[in-house]
């Protein structure tokens, strides 16, 4: 999940875009933005970078195994085809 520091930074950036006439409400607006961001992001099905990297590694290993199996299968199919073909 996104950490609170990231949410705070995002809320600060958004409140810095507030027009000068509304600067008095800046602190309240920043707090409301933080709460809204936390609630909205909390509803999303997000994974951490670590979880993502673990799954990426698993998929890479799986791809390597599939490639090896495909090569083995091609060799076995070639042998079978050679056995089935009539001898000269």
Going by pLDDT thresholds of 50, 70 and 90, the confidence category of residue 65 is: very high
Residue 19 pLDDT > 80: no
Residue 79 pLDDT > 90: yes
Q: What is the largest CA-CA distance in the chain?
A: 95
Mean pLDDT, the chain, as a whole number?
A: 85
85 or 54, higher pLDDT: 54
> Are residues 46 and 2 in contact, defined by beta-carbon separation less than 8 angstroms?
yes
Spatial distance between the Cα atoms of 75 and 69, rounded to a whole number of angstroms: 10
Nearest 5°: CA angle at 28, between 27 and 29?
90
Residue 76 pLDDT > 90: yes
Counting Cα atoms < 13 Å in the Cβ hemisphere of 54 gives: 5
The per-residue pLDDT for 81 is: 93
Helices (H) and strands (E) in the chain, counts: 3, 0
């Amino acid at each position: 999940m996104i950490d609170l520091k990231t949410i705070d930074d995002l809320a600060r950036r958004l409140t810095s875009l507030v027009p000068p006439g509304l600067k008095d409400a800046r602190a309240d607006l920043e707090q409301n933005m933080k709460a809204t961001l936390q609630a909205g992001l909390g509803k999303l099905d997000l994974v951490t970078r670590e979880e993502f990297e673990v799954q990426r590694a698993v998929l890479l290993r799986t791809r390597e195994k599939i490639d090896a199996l495909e090569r083995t299968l091609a060799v076995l199919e070639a042998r079978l085809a050679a056995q089935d073909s009539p001898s000269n």
